[in-house]
């Protein structure tokens, strides 16, 4: 895995004004780094409202006020101020970082043509003729599998999957290095989701994109992402490479999530046990927790006492995985005979 940091956020804390009362909702990203050309999944707590989920994303985008924290992009500190401005620095950062939104309907202006929607970023940036914008719009439409002839049409003339492809094209028009994909498939039909994920996979490989993929679908993030960050009430409780997280989940909330994934085998599904997560099992009144590395690249949110138990569980998990692999190999050999 590349070790060059594309995006680094240092302990973000976001304040939200809820019903005239200031409530600190902390999206604690303890010096998390998104590596170059990496896809990292952000799994918020399933029961959170949309506002709770958005706080982490908004903090990284640096569009909310009342913050003193720092965000670095490609080693440069791009936001250490408390107000959003339209400075040259902000525009340069915007070119390199783009968004793919969750709802392909509401995220597209119904009164604008596809060309106007996709090319708006170039218009704001300035320095492009209409012919140049048309040429670039046609190019990104082809990249996302749509005909350049669609440039003169309006959003209502397209299906949900086609609209999301338009949203992806809008993000690509600025030739970004880093994309935040906010649940880009959750509003689509199941039959269309695989197509969009395959498209993003192809674009990631072809263009060398770094992606922060916010989602709830565990099977999708396992297939699509290099690393997974599991969040519970605004805090990252576990961060690990995708296969490592599924093979050796260490935080009880992560184990609870994985135990809820449906399995195709009805007999196995009927007999397996669900793990219910009880947050009251943690006692952080005296000893505060933090993200600690139980294995290279595998971090778990725990205090000293919990971490000692986690390290022991991790060794047991590795041993059990080796036993399972050995058993499967023996069964396969017997079947061949």
- Check whether 206 has a pLDDT greater than 80: yes
According to the per-residue pLDDT averaged within each range, which of 6-10, 67-71, 131-135 is highest?
131-135
> How far apart are alpha carbons 38 and 5 in whole angstroms?
10
Cα–Cα distances (Å) from 313 to 83, 165, 251, 259, 275, in that order, read 46, 44, 10, 17, 16
Q: What is the mean pLDDT of residues 312-336?
A: 73
Per-domain boundaries in the chain: 90-223, 226-335
The CATH architecture annotation of domain 90-223 reads 3-Layer(aba) Sandwich (3.40)
Whole-model pTM above 0.75? Answer: yes
| pLDDT tens-place string over residues 11-26 | 555 555 544 444 444 4
Q: Which two tokens stand for residue 183?
A: 């649940």
| pLDDT tens-place string over residues 79-120 | 543 444 455 555 566 778 899 999 999 999 999 999 999 999
Percent of all residues in the chain with a pLDDT value above 70, rounded to a whole number: 70
> How far apart are alpha carbons 322 and 326 in whole angstroms?
6
> How far apart are alpha carbons 275 and 278 in whole angstroms?
10
| pLDDT tens-place string over residues 213-268 | 999 888 899 999 999 999 998 889 999 999 999 999 999 999 999 998 888 888 77
pLDDT at 78: 57
| pLDDT tens-place string over residues 113-165 | 999 999 999 998 888 999 999 999 999 999 999 999 999 999 999 999 999 99
Q: How many CB atoms lie within 10 A of CB 170?
A: 24
């Amino acid at each position: 895995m590349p070790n060059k940091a594309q995006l680094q956020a240092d302990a973000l804390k976001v304040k939200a004004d809820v019903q005239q009362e200031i409530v600190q909702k902390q999206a604690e990203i303890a010096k998390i780094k998104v590596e170059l050309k990496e896809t990292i999944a952000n799994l918020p707590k399933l029961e959170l409202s949309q506002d709770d989920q958005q706080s982490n994303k908004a903090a990284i985008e640096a569009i909310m006020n009342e913050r003193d924290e720092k965000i670095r992009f490609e080693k440069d500190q791009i936001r250490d101020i408390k107000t959003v401005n339209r400075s040259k620095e902000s525009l340069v950062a915007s070119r390199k970082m783009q968004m793919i939104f969750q709802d392909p309907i509401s995220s597209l202006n119904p009164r604008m043509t596809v060309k106007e929607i996709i090319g708006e970023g170039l218009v704001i940036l300035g320095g492009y003729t209409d012919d140049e914008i048309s040429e670039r719009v046609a190019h990104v439409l082809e990249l996302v599998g749509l005909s350049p002839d669609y440039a003169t049409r309006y959003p209502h003339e397209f299906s949900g999957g086609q609209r999301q492809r338009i949203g992806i094209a809008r993000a690509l028009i600025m030739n970004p290095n880093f994309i935040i994909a906010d649940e880009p498939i959750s509003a689509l039909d199941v039959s269309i989701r695989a197509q969009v994920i395959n498209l993003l996979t192809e674009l990631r490989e072809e263009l060398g994109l770094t992606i922060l993929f916010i989602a709830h679908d565990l099977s999708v993030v396992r297939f699509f992402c290099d690393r997974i960050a599991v969040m519970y009430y605004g805090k990252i409780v576990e961060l690990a490479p995708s296969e490592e997280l599924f093979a050796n989940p260490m935080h009880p909330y992560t184990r609870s999530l994985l135990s809820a994934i449906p399995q195709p085998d009805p007999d196995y599904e009927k007999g397996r046990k669900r793990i219910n997560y009880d947050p009251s099992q943690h006692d952080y009144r005296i000893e505060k927790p933090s993200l600690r590395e139980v294995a290279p690249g595998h971090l778990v949110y725990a205090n000293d006492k919990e971490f000692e138990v986690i390290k022991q569980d991790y060794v047991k998990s590795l041993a059990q995985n080796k036993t399972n692999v050995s058993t499967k190999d023996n069964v396969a050999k017997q079947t061949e005979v």
